[in-house]
Amino acid sequence: MTTRFGLHSFLSLLCFILLTFSSSAQQQDTLTIGQSLTDGQSLVSSGGSFRLGYFRPENSSSRYLGIWYGARVPTQTVVWVANRGAPISDTGGFLNLTREGILVLSDGDRNNLAVWSSNVTRRVSPTSGFVAQLLESGNLVVRDAADENPDNFLWQSFDYLTNSLLPGMKIGRNLTSGLNRTMRSWRSGEDPAEGDFSVLIETEGYPQLLVRRGTAIQFRAGSWNGLRFTGVPSLNPSPTFSFEYQYDEGEEVYFRFAVPNNTVVSRYAISTSGLLQHLTWSNRTGEWIVIGTAQGDRCQNYGLCGTYASCYGSRAPACECLTSFSPRNPSDFSRSAWEEGCVRRTALACNSSDGFILHSSVKLPDTAVARWNRTIGLAECRRLCLGNCSCTGYSSLDIRNGGSGCLMWFDDLIDIRELADRGQDLYVRVAGSEIRAAIQGNQGRTVIMIASVVSSLVALLVILGILLYARKRKLEQKETPKTNEEMDLPTFDLSTIVDATNDFAIGNKLGEGGFGPVYMGKLPEGQEIAVKRLSTSSGQGMSEFKNEVILFAKLQHRNLVRLLGCCIHEDEKMLIYEYMPNKSLDFFIFDETQRKLLNWQRRSIIIDGIVRGLLYFHQNSRLRIIHRDLKASNILLDKELRPKISDFGLASTFGGDQTEGETKKVVGTFVYMSPEYAVDGLFSVKSDVFSFEVLVLEIVSGRRNRGFYHTDHDLNLVGHAWTLWNEGAALGLIDDSLKESCNESEALRCIHVALLCVQQRPEDRPNMSAAVLMLGSENPLPEPKLPGFYLRRNPPEADTSCSANQVSITVMEPR
């Protein structure tokens, strides 16, 4: 009996030890020679950020060895797969490390058949054996166990990308060894085998980043210009992300990104449909958020417009021949069949009589046919290009510090697009006679003349300059807006707009703003438009009209309403926009029936879209812009209920590092104004932050700040939110129609951030980028201080003036 009890106790102790060892082994980050990683076991990086183990894709019976995120991302997201094309049939897989330092994955259910190996070609004699380790970066490495150099690897998974690019991963080519680090999409959501799409840096000609489908180019991010890829203007370093591009000729070319403070979980991924996206994990929503997509519009389709043509993402039609070029097939081009592109109107003379026309702010053409020189400037670049008959254009290689280096093209130019923000200068070679025609036609292109151009042409330039100056003075005196050429916007004939709007019929009228009525119309080709007609009785309309036209000529963003053109005919002045079928945000959130169509997820998307537009205004556009009239009626919704900011008549622009201004004429909508603007005429990016968060409170509550009524007090909506916050009852602000769909923690955080942004003192408010991080994280937030204008103050009625501290206030409400 004693013997049995002792044996039983011993066996129990032995089982406990084995289970403890097994559990401990499952949490280790290394695999040594002689160990096996079997199904059900995993390696976990030292900080728990990544896990290596076996997984089965959804709706699949096959198993794979892969790496996915650890505790920071509760939803399994696989970022690397070993046996992409050779799945394991069941749970019999095991991973071993050989004495030669090779990782081998075998399928025990198929007689230990090896289905994948790391295939190390470099032979190394370790001092104390090899070890495989999963690093905190997500990199699976094989190294000498005694080597203290953290970057000395025999093999690493970071060299063999699948569909994801993690911080620290390189995408590119080692020109010495031939190693080509390429991202490849999954075949489908259930099959991680290599799909149709790949992302790589192509080294033919001057290196550039491409997305291919098979061997065909689908998207071209372009060459690196010192700051970003020329076709991805949104790729900008920030406190959250940094980017590195390295090109050592004959050695290596690569791109990688980093998250300096490890503040967010972020990756790039190529989807099964070929979209290259930048994603971050949102703790607030519990999902991956797309913060950038390389293929933002149809102009990103490679070669959409053919040769010697440029694509305009905000215009219809999208493609237009470059100056001095004509469609190769005019009938096809007019039917939007642009593939054959454009050809020269006049053949090159191949001597010094040729010249160059500057196309500003563009995505540079395909550099597969380009040559480069890092040591010379633009002047020498132009001379070299002019001296070679095959040279078709040139540009700066590096745009930093005013530009340096030379990039020249030696074949037809293709895949050009206009970029309103962060494009580059491209000098296109044309015949001398075309330069003269461009000047005489005043086609709105800067013309670069060669020194040998005849003196008569110089005289013509002088005369033209005098005429333009006189014309400018005349226009200023008459207070008429800039011409189409100066604005770089298409114009519409009055007759076209009259026909489109059925002679401005009452049935086509969409609404009435402070500067005039807005009509719905349809152009002959079927495109629906919105026509904003300047009222002749508006005493303020002319300057706002000019301001809006000039701004729209410089701006392009998915969350801004597109300006298609303008119509100027005698006293008639009109702006033609894209038509937004779902009207404005106030039509939904302040209507008892319509608000039910906007669940919490939809409202979150709307808030996010407005944030993106304001971030573009404040820090990402070429000019720093303060909207000054942000409100629900100026947020329009497209057919998918995505928001677009409109009405830039009151916007102010700053250059350089300027962030604030002052005016003696305060205009806008009182209930959205910050205190310092309404009282003292001081406006800044913090003024827009104040207005935005008043709007957020309206979106969350479904109630207007203006005219808000509560039986217990005489406060406006901001004051009501402040009261509820102090009482610990902020959830009482949430719209009743959101009860079933609302994520209360997200809504509470929105209210918290909103109260921080409507604080009375501008210096207490966060800027937009800080507000974005606050909304998207779960980090603790400071307690808000007293908000501005939180009492009911009986604001002035519409279109009246009053004075406060010698400042004239004009309130236009509604518009």
Give the span between the Cα atoms of 370 and 129, in whole angstroms. Answer: 48
Type of residue numbered 163: N
Give the span between the Cα atoms of 162 and 5, in whole angstroms. Answer: 55
Residue 479 is classified by DSSP as: T
Give the span between the Cα atoms of 481 and 793, in whole angstroms. Answer: 38
Give the span between the Cα atoms of 265 and 499, in whole angstroms. Answer: 53
Cβ atoms within 10 Å, residue 88: 25
Q: Is 647 a catalytic residue?
A: no
Give the span between the Cα atoms of 756 and 611, in whole angstroms. Answer: 16
Nearest to 281 by CA among 592, 435, 71: 71
8 A C-beta contact, residue 119 and residue 102: yes
Any idea what the Cα angle at residue 470 is, between residues 466 and 472, rounded to 5°? 115
**Separate counts of helices (H) and strands (E) for the chain:** 15, 49
Type of residue numbered 473: R
Residue 74 is classified by DSSP as: -
**β-strand pairing of 572-578 with 528-533:** antiparallel
8 A C-beta contact, residue 234 and residue 620: yes
3-state class (DSSP) for residue 747: helix
Cα 392 to Cα 356, 385, 410, 451, 534: the distances in Å are 9, 7, 6, 19, 45
DSSP secondary structure letters along 553-620: HH---TTBPPEEEEEEETTEEEEEEE--TT-BHHHHHTSTTGGGG--HHHHHHHHHHHHHHHHIIIII
741-749, long-range: CB < 8 A, 24+ apart:
741/599, 741/600, 741/601, 742/600, 743/284, 743/285, 743/600, 745/284, 746/284, 746/285, 746/600, 746/604, 747/600, 747/700, 749/284, 749/774, 749/775, 749/781
| Structure token digits, residue 43 | 């390696």
Give the span between the Cα atoms of 324 and 340, in whole angstroms. Answer: 16
3-class secondary structure per residue, 88-149: ECCCCEEEEECCCCCEEEEEHHHCCEEEEECCCCCCCCCCCCEEEEECCCCCEEEEECCCCC
- The residue count for the chain: 815
16: Cα within 13 Å, side-chain hemisphere:
6
| Structure token digits, residue 545 | 């009209």
Give the span between the Cα atoms of 488 and 312, in whole angstroms. Answer: 12
3-state class (DSSP) for residue 176: coil
8 A C-beta contact, residue 267 and residue 50: no
8 A C-beta contact, residue 306 and residue 414: yes
Q: Using alpha carbons only, how large is the chain's radius of gyration in Å?
A: 31
Cβ atoms within 10 Å, residue 322: 24
Give the span between the Cα atoms of 680 and 664, in whole angstroms. Answer: 8
Helix (H) or strand (E) holding 799: none
527: left (phi over 0), alpha (psi -120 to 50) or beta: beta
Q: 366, 415, 586, 629: which is the annotated catalytic residue?
A: 629
Q: 233 preceded by cis ω (within 30°)? A: no
The catalytic residues are 629
